[in-house]
Chain A
Amino acid sequence: MSPKDIIRQALEENRIKLLEHEAFELARYYGIPTPKAVLVKSPEEAHETADSIGYPIALKIVSPDITHKSDVGGVKLGLMNREEAAKSVAEMLKTVSTKVPQARIVGVVMYKMAPAGLEVIVGGIRDSVFGAAVMFGLGGIFVEVLKDVSFRISPVSYGEALEMIEEIKSARILGGYRGQPPVDKQALADIIVKTSNLLLDNEEIESVDLNPVIVYPQGAVAVDVRVILKKG
Chain B
Amino acid sequence: MSVNGLSKFFQPESIVVVGATPKEGKVGRAILENFIARFKGRIYPVNPHYDEVLGLKCYRSIKDLPEIPDLAVIAIPAPLVSAAIKELGEKGCKAAIVISGGFRETGTPEGAALEDELVRVARDYGVRIIGPNCIGIFDNWSGVDTFFVSKMKRPPRGHVAFISQSGAFASALMDWMAYHGIGVSRAISYGNKVDVDDVELLEFLGEDDKTKVILMYIEGFKEGRGKLFMEAARRVSMKKPIVVYKAGRTARGSKAAASHTAAMAGDYAVYRAAFKQAGVLEAESFDEMMDIVRILLDQPLMKGNRVYILTDAGGVGVMLTDALASAGFELPLTPPDLREQLQRILPPHCIVENPIDLTGDTDDERYIKVLELLSQRSDVDAIVVVALPQVPGIKGTFVDYVIKLKKEYNKPIVALTIGSDVAIETARRLQEGGVTVFESPERLAKALKALRTYSLFISKGLVPAK
Q: Is A151 an interface residue (CB 8 A)?
A: yes
Residues of A with C-beta under 8 A to B465: 154-157, 160
CB pair B466 A157 closer than 8 Å: yes
Give how many A residues have a beta carbon under 8 Å from the other chain's beta carbons: 19
A141 sits at the interface (CB 8 A):
no
Closest to B268 in A: A151
In the complex, which residue of chain B has the Cβ closest to the Cβ of A129?
B226
**Other-chain residue from B266, B269, B272, B463 in contact with A128 (beta carbon distance below 8 A):** B266
By beta carbon, the residue of chain B nearest A197 is: B466
Report if A130-B466 is in contact (Cβ < 8 Å); known contacts: A149-B269, A153-B227, A153-B230: no
CA distance in complex: A86, B222 (Å): 54
Interface positions of B from 256 to 274, Cβ below 8 Å from A: 264, 266-267, 269-274
Residues of B within 8 A of A150 (CB): 273
Within 8 A of B (CB), among A146-190: 149-157, 159-160
Kindly identify which residue among B220, B266, B272, B463 contacts A157, using a CB–CB cutoff of 8 Å.
B463
B82 located at the interface, meaning its Cβ lies under 8 Å from any Cβ of chain A in the complex: no
Q: Does B224 contact A (CB under 8 A)?
A: yes
B264 and A130 within 8 A (CB): no
- The A-contacting residues of B in range 371-403, CB under 8 angstroms, are none
Q: How far is the CA of A150 from the CA of B264 in the complex (A)?
A: 21
Distance from B280 Cβ to chain A, minimum over Cβ atoms (Å): 12
Smallest CB separation, A215 vs chain B (Å)? 22
Cα(A155)–Cα(B273), bound, Å: 12
* Interface check A131, CB cutoff 8 A: yes
- Given A153-B226, A157-B463, A157-B466: A129 touches B269 (CB 8 Å cut-off): no
Contact in complex: A127, B463 (CB < 8 Å): no
For A129, give its contact among B270, B272, B277 (CB under 8 Å): B270
Asked whether, in the complex, the Cβ of B226 is within 8 Å of the Cβ of A130, the reply is yes
Alpha-carbon distance between A62 and B271 when the two chains are bound, in angstroms:
37
Interface magnitude class on chain B? 20 to 34
**Cα of A130 to Cα of B273 in the assembled complex, Å:** 10
| Closest B residue, CB atoms, query A155 | B465
Q: Is A50 an interface residue (CB 8 A)?
A: no
B223 close to A (CB within 8 Å): yes
* Contact of B264 with A131 in the complex, beta carbons under 8 Å: no
Closest residue of A by beta carbon distance from B276: A152
State the CA gap A155–B463 with chains docked (Å).
Answer: 12
Cross-chain contact of B270 among A130, A155, A157, A159 (Cβ < 8 A): A130
The distance in angstroms between the C-alpha atoms of A131 and B267, with both chains bound, is: 12
> Contacting A130 at CB < 8 Å: which of B274, B276, B463, B464?
B274
The listed residue (A128, A151, A157, A159) touching B273 by CB distance below 8 A is A151
Contact A131 B226 (CB under 8 A): yes
CA distance A133 to B268 in the complex (A): 13
- Kindly list chain B residues whose C-beta atoms are within 8 Å of the C-beta of A153: 226-227, 230, 270, 273-274, 277
Interface positions, chain B 86-117, Cβ under 8 Å from A, are none
Asked whether B223 lies within 8 Å of A129 as measured between CB atoms, the reply is yes
Cα A157 to Cα B277 in complex, Å, equals: 11
Q: Which residue of A lies closest to B220 (CB)?
A: A129
Which of A128, A131, A135, A149 gathers most chain B CB within 10 Å? A128
Contacts of B276 in A (CB 8 A): 152
Q: What residues on A are CB-neighbors of B125 within 8 Å?
A: none
Query: What is the CA–CA distance of A171 and B296 in the complex, to the nearest angstrom?
Result: 31
Q: A133 touches which one: B220, B224, B273 (CB < 8 A)?
A: B273
The answer to whether B273 touches A131 (Cβ under 8 A) is: no
CB pair A131 B269 closer than 8 Å = no
Chain B: CB-nearest residue to A163: B276
Interface positions of A from 111 to 150, Cβ below 8 Å from B: 125, 127-131, 133, 135, 149-150
Closest A residue to B278 using CB positions: A153
Contacts of B272 in A (CB 8 A): 151
Asked whether A129 lies within 8 Å of B463 as measured between CB atoms, the reply is no
Known contacts A151-B269, A157-B463, A160-B465: does B224 contact A129 (CB below 8 Å)?
yes
Q: What is the distance, in angstroms, from B226's C-beta to the closest C-beta of chain A? A: 3
Q: Please, how many angstroms separate the alpha-carbon atoms of A160 and B274 in the complex?
A: 12
Choose one: A128, A149, A157; the contact of B264 (CB below 8 Å): A128
B176 contacts across to A, CB distance below 8 A:
none
Residue of A with least CB distance to B225: A129
User: In the complex, A160 Cα to B466 Cα: how many Å?
Assistant: 11
Q: Which residues of B contact A135 (CB under 8 A)?
A: 269
Separation of A127 and B272 alpha carbons in the complex (Å):
13
B225 contacts A152, C-beta separation under 8 Å = no
**Contact (Cβ within 8 A) A127 B466:** no
Residue among A130, A154, A159 with max Cβ neighbours from chain B (10 Å):
A130
Chain A proximity of B270: nearest CB distance (Å): 5
Q: Which of B324-353 contact A (CB under 8 A)?
A: none
State which residues 267-314 of B face A: CB under 8 Å: 267, 269-274, 276-277
B141 is an interface residue with CB less than 8 A from chain A: no
- CB pair B266 A127 closer than 8 Å: yes
Separation in Å of the A29 CB from the closest CB of chain B? 19
CB nearest neighbor in B for A161: B465
Taking the closest CB of chain B, its distance from the CB of A136, in whole angstroms, is 11
Which residues from A are CB-within-8-Å of B225?
129
Give the nearest-CB partner of A167 in chain B.
B276
Measured in the bound complex, the distance between the Cα atoms of B273 and A135 in whole Å is 10
Is A130 in contact with B220, judged by CB distance below 8 angstroms?
no
Contacts of A131 in B (CB 8 A): 224, 226-227
> What's the nearest-Cβ distance from chain A to residue B249, in Å?
13
Complexed CA–CA distance, A154 and B226 (Å): 11
For the complex formed, measure the closest distance between the CB of B228 and the CB atoms of chain A, giving whole angstroms: 10
CB pair A159 B463 closer than 8 Å: yes
Report the separation of the CA atoms of residues A129 and B228 in the bound assembly, to the nearest whole angstrom.
Answer: 10
18 CB-based A-B contacts, threshold 8 Å? A125-B270, A127-B267, A128-B223, A128-B264, A129-B222, A129-B224, A129-B266, A129-B270, A130-B226, A131-B227, A150-B273, A151-B269, A151-B273, A152-B277, A153-B270, A153-B273, A157-B466, A160-B277
Beyond known contacts A129-B225, A130-B230, A153-B274: 9 more, CB 8 A cutoff: A127-B266, A127-B270, A130-B227, A133-B273, A149-B269, A152-B273, A152-B276, A153-B227, A157-B465
Q: Ordered nearest first, which 9 A-B pairs have the shortest CB separation?
A: A130-B226, A151-B273, A129-B226, A157-B465, A155-B465, A129-B266, A127-B270, A151-B269, A128-B223
Give chain B's interface residues, CB within 8 Å of chain A.
220-227, 230, 264, 266-267, 269-274, 276-277, 463-466
